[in-house]
Structure 1
């Protein structure tokens, strides 16, 4: 129960609720919580949370306040709310449709590690290009139609994360220059498929030195790091082509189809066949 004093402080912008993932039902058993407002009014109470929140405007417009700074959000705008940042929605137009993706801080940190980043800057919202907006709107609509499917939520977040990196709001980890340049090269499918041998060869380090570096900066072994990169390529081939799963397994560098299947399920929460099927499902109509 919110007291009269708390309500008064809220109006003055002093009191903020702190929302924790553990206390939100939508987070139960998952790293992600997806919401699509479809015209519903968003919270005008100042609050913060222990997780990251990504707010994307599909249609309409709203006035958002983040860390005391006003943002007039229009269709195609994406705003990132960092853990601990107070924010609220002051107003919104009728029939405004907003997608809000909440992500546990530990999951976001795993993505930072994978891409050699240390965090997001406290930045204003940025706009997607018309082409990116068209594709991303479709992805948001499909995710809303399918529901809380772990594979699609992870895919949607991965896309938003890349948008943030491309917009320049992610800060790079302070990595040795040669190591950072080598990580950029390792993103290629050819080197990923070759595996740890390529990782060692292009790095110029011994295997033990490489192990120390990946452990220090990413808390992963070289094999774990390469497998994460391979799964990124595998996802694109699974949902973007009709290639046989055994062929995809070989293309991204795995010899064992059973091990490949195990990693796909661990990474995306379902089998490759289910992942492809869900990606091709049409929107459900109301």
Structure 2
């Protein structure tokens, strides 16, 4: 079986390689490798055969491939597929896991027989494409700058999308009360009221709720609520003409500066105003 080596295709200084694959016909057959990959399907669909199982992947799917995975691509009967591929060395992932710390579910990414595959919304797909496209704008001779940008992008995408999918893949041990609480928290009338409302819904102590969120979801109740708030704010920015200050109030934040801070942390320093402009341009 073919084994692709980082030494033959990845610049040792950049530690990553970015490319646009225009057709399934441009891919190799069954193979494994000694590096990791992220790929994003831009158009069409593809049968991804990995570790002996076939997956039908559609447009907007983001997939993480581990170095031990054995895979190849087959064209579907209906259409071809175009996707972006970012390959990166083992050291890059090791550093990323170390940076994100013990709360990052690395064992749930690397252990299961099947890797995580995340179906993104159209807006999320365009955001991921925008982030990856930044690599093509940096002169390749500026290798250390490209290397730094690769790590910034991977930190963003893993913490935003891949981690969430890993958490979703490992919900078997989550207590039923916590599942119910998370479902209730997703309702606007609850997440806009903040953490106090979440704890009140649980019927349990604040300290206990915090421990359980850390144990099962690897985040605090406040972080969970703010993720819901930001997701709702993104929808309002793209689909309404509401003023940003009104959106902040709508999601339960009367401190607009805090809203900006949360939003920029989630979107790699992109402000709500720029996010709205970017979303409108991509439509």
TM-score relative to the length of structure 1: 0.62
Name the counterpart of 1:87.
70
Name the counterpart of 1:196.
195
Q: Which runs of 5+ in 2 are unaligned?
A: 88-92, 136-151
Structure 1 pair 195/142, CA: closer, same or farther in 2 (3 Å)? Answer: closer
The answer to whether structure 1 residue 66 and structure 2 residue 65 are counterparts is: no
Name the counterpart of 1:53.
38
Paired with 1:210 and 1:125, the residues of 2 have a C-alpha distance of 28
Structure 1 pair 144/184, CA: closer, same or farther in 2 (3 Å)? Answer: same
SS in 2 for 1:47: strand
Give the aligned CA root-mean-square deviation in angstroms: 4.8
SS in 2 for 1:99: strand
Mean Cα displacement is larger for which, 262-271 or 139-148? 139-148
Name the counterpart of 1:264.
263
**Aligned pairs (5 A) from 1:198-277:** 198-269=197-268, 270-277=270-277
Name the counterpart of 2:134.
148
Task: Please report how far the alpha carbon of residue 121 of structure 1 lies from its aligned counterpart in structure 2 after TM superposition.
Answer: 6.3
> What do residues 23-62 of structure 1 show as CA deviations (whole Å, max 9, x unaligned)?
69486xxxxx975422482344723466563453724x76
Q: Does the 8 A contact of 2:66 with 2:115 survive in 1?
A: no
Paired with 2:12 and 2:28, the residues of 1 have a C-alpha distance of 17
> What do residues 248-270 of structure 1 show as CA deviations (whole Å, max 9, x unaligned)?
10111111000101111111120
Structure 1 pair 214/142, CA: closer, same or farther in 2 (3 Å)? Answer: closer
Paired with 2:127 and 2:194, the residues of 1 have a C-alpha distance of 36
Task: Please report how far the alpha carbon of residue 97 of structure 1 lies from its aligned counterpart in structure 2 after TM superposition.
Answer: 3.8
Structure 1 pair 81/16, CA: closer, same or farther in 2 (3 Å)? Answer: same
Q: Does the 8 A contact of 1:53 with 1:81 survive in 2?
A: yes
Q: Does the 8 A contact of 1:237 with 1:248 survive in 2?
A: yes
Query: How many aligned positions are there?
Result: 243
Task: Please report how far the alpha carbon of residue 65 of structure 1 lies from its aligned counterpart in structure 2 after TM superposition.
Answer: 3.8
SS in 2 for 1:231: helix
Structure 1 pair 24/97, CA: closer, same or farther in 2 (3 Å)? Answer: farther
Paired with 1:158 and 1:256, the residues of 2 have a C-alpha distance of 24
Task: Please report how far the alpha carbon of residue 98 of structure 1 lies from its aligned counterpart in structure 2 after TM superposition.
Answer: 2.0
SS in 1 for 2:213: helix
Q: Does the 8 A contact of 1:55 with 1:80 survive in 2?
A: yes
Q: Does the 8 A contact of 1:16 with 1:46 survive in 2?
A: yes
Paired with 1:279 and 1:189, the residues of 2 have a C-alpha distance of 23
Task: Please report how far the alpha carbon of residue 99 of structure 1 lies from its aligned counterpart in structure 2 after TM superposition.
Answer: 1.9
Name the counterpart of 1:99.
83
TM-score relative to the length of structure 2: 0.63
SS in 2 for 1:98: strand
